[in-house]
Structure 1
Amino acid sequence: MSQSEASAKSPSGEADNHPPQPRTDDAVLGGTAPSPVGCVVLGGLEGVKRRLAAAASEQRVAALKEALQYGEAGLELVMLGLEDDSRQVRYAAFSLLAAQDSPRVKQRLRNYLPWFEFEVVTVDAWGRESNRYRNQAQYFSEDVGNGVFLDIVSIPGGTFLMGSPDTEKGRNSRESPQHSVTVKPFYLGKFPVTQKQWKAVAALPQVMRHLDFDPSDFKGDNLPVEQVSWDEAVEFCQRLSKKTGRSYRLPSEAEWEYACRAGTTTPFQFGETITSDLANYNGNFIYGSEPKGIFQQETTPVGSFQVANAFGLYDMHGNVWEWCADYCLENYKGAPSDERAWSENHQYYHVLSLRGGSWFNTPGGCRSAYRVSFDTGKRRKRNNIGFRVGCVAAKTL
């Protein structure tokens, strides 16, 4: 008799019709050990519920996938996943629900922002890629007319250090003193406003001032609009607000820097330096120990480098300068500790802030903390100045 045959019989020699009892390392309902990802937990729907309470987000994602096997009750568990603390779990829940035909699910998703995936890259001081991973963020597409849409990304609230430390290369007194700022959740354009989007909004009824239908020097639907003044950018936001019923505006400097950093404290969202494989700037110059790169000498289509920051925003470094709502004061002494635009000193009413650098600038001028003033009273326009829109109370999650 083989060993396997022997093990199937009881000591009396009769066949044992009872399955082996679970071992201490089996994944069973009521066990205290963490369940292996992808395993089947005994206990049916109750077992799924137990896994959805696990500490590891990977286990909760696996449980959501299994929950769909349990009909309406399982579907309800997946919908609860939309409220999970983990972005990874919320994204998994949304992806699973988006594939369902249930009218109840479709109704639930009507009031929920969809998700998109993107790649995030980090480089070292030599410009070598040290990390690449996929992340997710929520967004909605705003219909601006004529079949043109503007993607708006949900930016989570948080607290960060605004400005740069004394040790940061290329810093200046405008970036001092570093100070803690708490930012409420808001929404920001995934890309700088494109020429196609500009034309669609420029065709809407005037609110305060005329908008040139095609102001840009470099031509292309998906190129960022440029040669736009601060007042014209504000008019764009006002027209868009009137059409949509949502409150569009330029971001404050605090919102812009918080969104650009996306949780980083390094000079760039990419890390200690930047390369022309990641952004459009004057690659004839270097910031760290990276090799020289390409100088495009013009704008590039938005998102063309195919890497975002951890919030899902593209082209925050280089391509075009971006208008902010603030007066550009000489330093941060007395600056707000929240996300409000700094516009209390009327001595600076015509000196506005620009952030992010452009295709024309050296890498140091594209740092997250770098800020420059522009005197709008001189009526100058440049082919390296554009903007992206911010929004508050855009949709209820």
Structure 2
Amino acid sequence: MTPRKAEMNDVQERHEVATKELNEFFDCEFKEILLLVDYLSVRLERGDVICQGGEIVNDKVRETIDRISRLANQSGSYDVEDVSFLFKAKCSLNHLAYPANGLTIAYTCMYVEDEKNLMEKDAGPNFSGARYSRIGVAKDAFPKIVENARHFRRVTDKMSLWVVIITVISAIILSIVSYGAQVIARFEQDRVAHMKSIDDVYSILAKQFAPIAAATPPSILVKEHCEPPGISKETYQIIEMCNEYSYIARRYEAAINSVSVFKESWAFWPIRFIFEIPNLGPNEQADARSVAIVLSTFTSYILPILFAVIGSFAASVRGIYEKIQDGVLAPRDRILTLVRLPLGLIAGVTVGLFFDPSTVVTHVSLGLGLSLSASAIAFAAGYGAETFFSKIDLLINHVFGFKRSERPVLAGEHH
């Protein structure tokens, strides 16, 4: 073979390879057009631009669909007119499908549909082989994003499982903390009532037994006159006050016992597993203080973090759901979803910084009788993490007088 002939054969081979690659590219473009037509044909809210009453009302769209049908049955390479038509049809159909486009429609289809189950369902009991389906067209039109969509689906499946687990754990901890907060609140109320009842009885006894009262502690003096046999010698007024004192004292003892029971119960075990609480003995008032500190930490920091994560998960899942409904799910959404979750976690941690943990349950009033706990605010911050941090940007701009993207000029620097 002469060098001239070998060179011609090489040129011919390269031309054939280039032609084959171009035809494969045009095939992808054609299949993208098929996806756009399929998408627009089932979108009732867009029916006025395609059909009305089951009939195509736009001559231009009818002509486009007829030409697409002819191309679907055409074999061989695409000629110049076919290529020109493909790009014009793609432009026109993308305009009608906006904000969706061929890429987002294909990606949404890959994300949602299970090709194997879909083919078996369509084929029925006589299924014996693969059938070309919508997802097959989507994969052929955009082969490079198949693995991305598959990975995104696995990520969201795992994310859904984790959000269920975290929600259940948060609900259990919230119920434990809420019950503990009520126990502590009851203890504080009964303690104040108990101290007041002692003062009331002591003030009456101090008037009648002034010399003795001056040298006797109030609690001992009250017990001597309000318990048998001393109470039998008192006046009717003192007996009534002593009865009230005894009732409040029993209620106070029950409140102390409730704190001890709660501290030792199985429900408090998850909290006790994280924080070590000193064992001060049965029915000790100091137990209530220790338990209150732990509950305050949970309500101010741990629960807000958990609910911020739940809020971030909820926003991500809801965003994916809305994009699937509109057919606008795109490859970038996988990264955006993964980036958004840490933002929700950071928002939950940040919310705890705005509250004073000195109280057991922290609330912020919104007016009209509505109040939100730190956990509720953290959920809202996690759900709208972008808005939350944009508000912080505005606060920084207002306080420090420079934009977040800017930095203060250091000493020795010049503008």
In which range does the TM-score fall when normalised by the shorter chain?
A: under 0.3
- What TM-score, normalized to structure 1? 0.24
Relative contact order, CA 8 A, sep 6+: which one is greater?
Answer: 1
Structure with the greater alpha carbon radius of gyration:
2
- What TM-score, normalized to structure 2? 0.23
Structure with more strand by fraction: 1
Structure with more helix by fraction: 2
